Amino acid sequence: MAEQDERRLVFRDYVDAVGLHGVAGAEAAGLQASEWYALSRITLAGGLTSGELAAGTGLTTGATTRLIDRLERAGYVRRAADPADRRKVVVEAVPGALAEVEAAVGPARRRIAEVLAAYTPEQQALLFDYFARAAPAFREATEEIRTLTRERQGAARPAIR
């Protein structure tokens, strides 16, 4: 049991450190945490519609539009016609503008690269398998939390008579 508790504490410390790094990266780039996360999702996907971004962030469509507006004004993203469907608009990262963001996260990337380099290729494969499986699991857990929160908030509201 003590080993399980120790592992739980180590994992929580790791997750907290990753979260804190995200907050520091956002601050260094002059962004709010939600803007940092949205920019990361847009960059990883190569572009998203505002609806896809809203679904991925848990924001309302109105809040997502305002977030995109802020990122666009800051020069981090642009709106472009979807090549697959010209009626749709895709939000894309502006490559040159990401230099500031890359500089903000560069120290952490170097440190994590050093940590990973200490592992054998087989161990690295296992770690990256974990990352690939854990990311969607965290997203699903996040959606469960949001659903429970909405249900709790809805139940706490007095009935309209």
pLDDT in tens, 101-128: 788 788 888 999 999 999 999 999 999 9
The domain segmentation of the chain, as residue ranges, is 2-118
Average per-residue pLDDT in the chain? 90
pTM attached to this predicted model: 0.80
Average pLDDT score over residue span 38-66: 93
Helices and strands (H and E) in the chain: how many: 6, 2
pLDDT in tens, 18-51: 999 889 888 888 899 999 999 999 999 999 999 9
Q: Which has the higher per-residue pLDDT, 96 or 119? A: 119
Does domain 2-118 fall under CATH 1.10.10.10? My reply is yes
